[in-house]
């Protein structure tokens, strides 16, 4: 699919284009029934929205994202539409309001094309825990598309959409981007409003963007960023110019490769991807050095305790009384709640609730949750310190290529290991981006990750722009 940034030139020349994009989208969805990226296509509004976009473009009134086709992960509210977090628990639940990000996209003229598949309640790294069944990877046949924003990445990689929103609690925007050869950015905690996002682990959750190019991702992130009175954790810091940052280059930037993130057991192709990226960045004027940040082994365990504790607490609201799956034929409150939750949640979600409840329970709380919270502060301080010495960190996104479909569901510990390089950004709140870096010997997509200081998304876009230009 032609990137939105390229199409933008036609829009500015007052040409119609959106109606034909919508036509192609419908045909493609019919032609690829197995992809399973969409859980709902908004057939009833697509044509009217496309018409509006075309009319405004022709009249010379195009707004920032006029006619851009965007999809929304099924854990972000769209007023009047079902929003299920890909869980039986929320089937039939209709959103009472638009998430702030959705409202901002609409106001900028984007066409909201539909709801996208995901791991249940955003818990998973493979897109396979969804009640709607697994999503395929259009960039690697028979492999997982990554998770949990599986549908977002697959729809963009298949050329169905210009961009999609995902959520990233421990890597769920960056991992699927890495698996599908797309760009995925998780902004700084507080940069994008979480109002209207179904919570997983509130201190780690951020809405992010997946797009085919860095510039398209920058356009969308710019539109959805900024302070929101509906989210007390959203930041009032001014939003910087992301789109122009993409072409800014990396001249004079200091980039640190975290040595601990490149163990011998990492596949050779991943070592080479980091190496090649370092060379490209160096020839573009950056200085690249190895640095030590010896906390890598702590990251996933700390994340597992904190994220699951917050998840257990957030998900306690789903008992079938106000909302959520209700069996309706149990009289007694406790047995009804027990049955609603047993039937409504899938295996992975139940596993998280059990771990989270355990680490918060009387007698264990200090040993687990409070200990993890202290370690989290140490991790945050260490990353801040590292990022006071360099401008960007360069590291892998995942410890291996996208797994064959089905394998990770049999081996949860292996699935959890795929989060080892992505959770640092969530524990620290720092922004991070996944950028495609070619393919390995088997033709599977490779990617690298950059992390920057808080609110320096511009640096992430600048480095992504340089790699994108060189790796094509």
Q: Annotated catalytic sites, by residue?
A: 73, 148, 172
Burial class (CB in 10 A: 0-12, 13-18, 19+), 71: buried
How far apart are CB 467 and ligand GLN at their closest, in Å?
23
CA distance 124 to 328: 30
In this structure, what DSSP letter does residue 90 have?
G
Token digits of residue 58:
């022709």
Shortest distance (Å) from residue 172 CB to ligand GLN:
3
**172/225 with CB nearer ligand GLN:** 172
- CB-nearer residue toward ligand GLN: 311 or 437: 311
Beginning with the edge strand found earlier in the chain, give each strand of the sheet holding 287-291 in spatial order.
38-41, 111-116, 69-73, 163-168, 206-211, 183-186, 432-439, 445-452, 392-396, 254-258, 287-291
Ramachandran area for residue 381 (φ above 0: left; ψ -120 to 50: alpha; else beta): alpha
**339 versus 417: smaller Cβ distance to ligand GLN:** 417
Nearer to ligand GLN, 159 or 412 (CB): 412
Instruction: Name the minimum Å distance from CB 292 to ligand GLN.
Output: 26
Question: Which residue in 255, 253, 259 sits closest to 291, CA to CA?
Answer: 259
Q: How far is the CB of 310 from ligand GLN (least distance, A)?
A: 11
Give the phi and the psi of residue 282 in degrees, each rounded to 5.
-65, -45
* Nearest CB to ligand GLN, comparing residues 171 and 436: 171
Choice between 73 and 93, CB closer to ligand GLN: 73
Distance CA 146, CA 158 (A): 14
C-alpha to C-alpha distance for 434 and 451, rounded to whole angstroms: 9
Q: How far is residue 357's CA from residue 361's CA, in Å, rounded to a whole number? A: 6
Q: Quote the CA–CA distance of 27 and 21 in Å, as a whole number.
A: 10
What's the min distance (Å) between Cβ of 426 and ligand GLN?
A: 7
What would the 3-class secondary structure string for 232-293 be? CCCCCCCCCCHHHHCCCCCCCCEEEEEHHHCCCCCCHHHHHHHHHHHHHHHHCCCEEEEECC
Nearer Cβ to ligand GLN (22/207): 207
Q: Which residues pair with 114 in a beta bridge?
A: 41, 71
Q: How far apart are CB 56 and ligand GLN at their closest, in Å?
A: 35
- Positions in the binding site for ligand GLN (CB under 6 A): 122-125, 148, 167-172, 200, 307, 419
Minimum separation from the CB atom of position 118 to ligand GLN (A): 8
């Amino acid at each position: 699919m032609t990137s939105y940034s390229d199409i933008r030139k036609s829009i500015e020349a007052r040409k119609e284009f959106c109606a034909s994009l919508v036509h192609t989208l419908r045909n493609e969805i019919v032609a690829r029934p197995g992809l399973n990226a969409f859980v709902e296509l908004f057939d009833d509004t697509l044509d009217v929205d496309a018409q509006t976009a075309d009319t405004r473009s022709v009249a010379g009134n195009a707004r920032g994202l006029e006619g851009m086709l965007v999809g929304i992960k099924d854990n972000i509210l769209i007023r009047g539409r079902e929003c299920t977090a890909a869980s039986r628990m929320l089937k039939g639940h209709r959103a009472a309001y638009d998430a702030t990000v959705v409202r901002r996209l609409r106001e900028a003229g984007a066409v909201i094309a539909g709801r996208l598949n995901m791991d249940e309640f955003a818990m998973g790294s493979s897109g396979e825990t969804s009640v709607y069944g697994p999503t395929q990877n259009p960039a690697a046949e028979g492999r997982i598309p990554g998770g949990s924003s599986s549908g977002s990445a697959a729809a963009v990689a298949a050329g169905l959409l210009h961009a999609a929103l995902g959520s990233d609690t421990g890597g769920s925007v960056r991992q699927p981007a890495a698996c599908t050869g797309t760009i995925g950015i998780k902004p700084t905690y507080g940069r994008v409003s979480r109002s209207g996002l179904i919570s997983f682990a509130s201190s780690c959750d951020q809405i992010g963007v997946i797009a085919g190019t860095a510039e398209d991702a920058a356009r969308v992130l710019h539109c959805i960023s900024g302070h929101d009175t509906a989210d007390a954790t959203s930041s009032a810091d001014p939003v910087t110019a992301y789109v122009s940052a993409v072409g800014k280059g990396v001249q004079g930037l200091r980039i640190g490769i975290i040595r601990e993130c490149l163990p011998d057991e990492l596949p050779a192709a991943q070592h080479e991807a980091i190496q090649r990226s370092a060379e490209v960045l160096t020839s573009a004027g950056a200085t690249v050095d190895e640095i030590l940040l010896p906390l890598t082994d702590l990251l996933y365990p700390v994340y597992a305790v904190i994220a699951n504790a917050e998840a257990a607490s957030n998900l306690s609201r789903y008992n079938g009384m106000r909302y959520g799956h209700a069996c309706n034929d149990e009289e007694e409150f406790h047995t009804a709640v027990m049955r609603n939750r047993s039937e409504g949640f899938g295996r992975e979600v139940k596993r998280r609730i059990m771990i989270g409840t355990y680490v918060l329970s009387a007698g264990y709380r200090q040993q687990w949750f409070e200990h993890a919270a202290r370690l989290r502060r140490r991790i945050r301080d260490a990353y801040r310190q590292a990022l006071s010495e360099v401008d960007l960190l360069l590291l892998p996104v995942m410890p291996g290529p996208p797994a064959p479909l089905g394998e990770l569901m049999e081996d949860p510990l292996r699935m959890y290991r795929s989060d080892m390089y992505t959770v640092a950004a969530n524990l620290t709140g720092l922004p991070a981006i996944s950028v495609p870096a070619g393919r390995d010997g088997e033709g599977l997509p490779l990617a690298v990750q950059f992390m920057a200081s808080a609110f320096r998304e511009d640096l992430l876009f600048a480095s992504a722009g340089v790699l994108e230009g060189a790796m094509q």
